[in-house]
A and B are shown apart, each in its own frame.
Chain A
Amino acid sequence: MSFVFYILATLTVAGALAAVLLKNTVHCALALTVAFAGLALLFLNLDAQFAGFAQILVYIGAVAILVVFAILLTKGSETPKDGVFSRTWLAGLAVAAAVFAVLGWAVIQTANLLPSSAPTPTVTVQQIGQALVGRYVLPLEIVAVLLTAAMIGAVIIAMHEKDGVK
């Protein structure tokens, strides 16, 4: 376990914790951006350069901005008077803790069976591109259709209907 990994893991987990714990919604969105950046750096640390930069472009560049826009459009930055957590927060926390306990137990139990080291894969963007238009061309086309449908759907759902005009 390298020193860099611990720094990046701390950054990512701290960002994620702040994103779900802070009271102000805008601060949550900014903390979420920190968590996304930490994840992108973890991807780069795993020698997955393409996925790391795709993570920066898609999540920090698009999803975080979308979240901020949604907060602005819904006046969500106002902190509610009666707390930010749901009435059933204890049950939710218990479920999340149970999930983490099971996942952590499974990882710890099998830690000795996991490969301890692997040679650094030399994957170029050219190989990824050739795989995308070769072996994975059908999923690529389906994702293209899905993104188009999602974009049209999001615009139609969020479109403002004038009174009397449907």
Chain B
Amino acid sequence: MTPLAGYLLIAALLFSIGLAGALTRRNAILVLIGIELMLNAANLNLIAFWRYGPHPEALTGMMFAIFSIAVAAAEAAVGLGLVIQIHRHAKTTDLDQMNRMKG
């Protein structure tokens, strides 16, 4: 197996673990953790393709990964702010109990 295939498989595995976490956990914070894992798996793909791609000196994949990290940080801040506000409103972070849209 080539190194690139190994990295891609690890990224696929991380993405699936994150997806499973986001889909099966009840706590809203754990769902956000799963989403972070999925974003990181995408970053690993970008960096791996940059490393083994034809023109690493053009920095395209590297820049994509850096901007992706910045956007993920913004997403985490807003997502966790939303979770805190929902907890203040509904007194729970259990997603199974959040079955109403009306406050």
Contacts from A to B (Cβ < 8 Å): 1-2, 5, 9, 12-13, 16-17, 19-20, 25, 28-29, 32, 35-36, 39, 42-43, 46-48, 50-51, 54-55, 58-59, 62-63, 66-67, 69-71, 73-76, 80, 83-89, 91-93, 95-97, 99-100, 103-104, 107-108, 111, 114-118, 121, 123, 127-128, 131-132, 136, 139, 143, 146-147, 149-151, 153-155, 157-158, 160
Contact A42:B93 (CB < 8 A) given known A20-B20, A118-B51:
no
Contact A32:B36 (CB < 8 A) given known A80-B26, A99-B16, A111-B1:
yes
Given contacts A55-B40, A80-B27, 16 further A-B pairs with CB under 8 A are A1-B6, A12-B14, A28-B30, A35-B37, A39-B14, A50-B62, A66-B76, A66-B77, A67-B29, A70-B29, A96-B20, A107-B8, A107-B12, A116-B3, A149-B74, A154-B80
Contacts from B to A (Cβ < 8 Å): 1-10, 12-27, 29-30, 32-34, 36-37, 40, 43-44, 47-48, 50-53, 56-57, 59, 62-63, 65-67, 69-78, 80-85, 87-88, 93-96
The minimal Cβ–Cβ distance linking A37 to chain B, given in whole angstroms, is 11
* Complex Cα gap A132–B6 (Å): 30
Instruction: Look across to chain B and name the residue whose beta carbon is closest to the beta carbon of A10.
Output: B10
Contact of A63 with B13 in the complex, beta carbons under 8 Å: no
Contact partner, B87, options A13, A74, A103, A116, Cβ 8 Å = A74
Contact partner, A111, options B5, B15, B66, B75, Cβ 8 Å = B5
Measured between beta carbons, the chain A residues less than 8 angstroms from B93 are: 74, 76
Measured between beta carbons, the chain B residues less than 8 angstroms from A62 are: 73, 76
